[in-house]
Amino acid sequence: MKIIDAIINNKQESRKEWMLDLFEKNGQRMKSNFRFQFWQHGNHPILLNNKEMYNQRLIYLHENPERAGFVRHPIDWKYSSAIDYYAEEGKGLLELIRLD
């Protein structure tokens, strides 16, 4: 499992034991798992068939870390693309293909 290997082999990750323990406990609850569960089961896909629906979901994703109290502003979340969309000269960690 590439995600688990990345956590185990990252020397800078201080939360390694906590994350692996959490993923393993969640994995034990589901018989279909081999050992770890990283993603939450039970997705309900929604077809984003117009620009308005796409923009609503994008704003929702960008605002989640702020709503959860992790950051003051969506652009402050390290792994978010919000900085690519909302900051004048911002650039996130990943290459981004904008759909607007």
Question: What range defines the domain where residue 70 resides?
Answer: 45-100
The count of structural domains within the chain is 2
Are residues 33 and 68 part of one domain? no
**Rounded to whole angstroms, what are the CA distances from 4 to 7, 39, 91?**
5, 12, 27
Are residues 66 and 97 part of one domain? yes
Are residues 33 and 57 part of one domain? no
Are residues 49 and 36 part of one domain? no
Are residues 50 and 37 part of one domain? no
Are residues 56 and 31 part of one domain? no
Q: Report the C-alpha dihedral over residues 44, 47, 52, 58, rounded to 10 degrees.
A: 50
Q: Which of 39-43, 86-90, 96-100 is predicted least confidently?
A: 39-43
Residue 61: per-residue pLDDT: 92
Q: What average pLDDT is seen over the chain?
A: 83
Bigger pLDDT: 86 vs 62: 62
Residue 64: per-residue pLDDT: 94
Residue 92: per-residue pLDDT: 85
Are residues 34 and 62 part of one domain? no
For residue 2, pLDDT over 70 is answered with yes
Question: Residues 45-72: what's their mean pLDDT?
Answer: 92
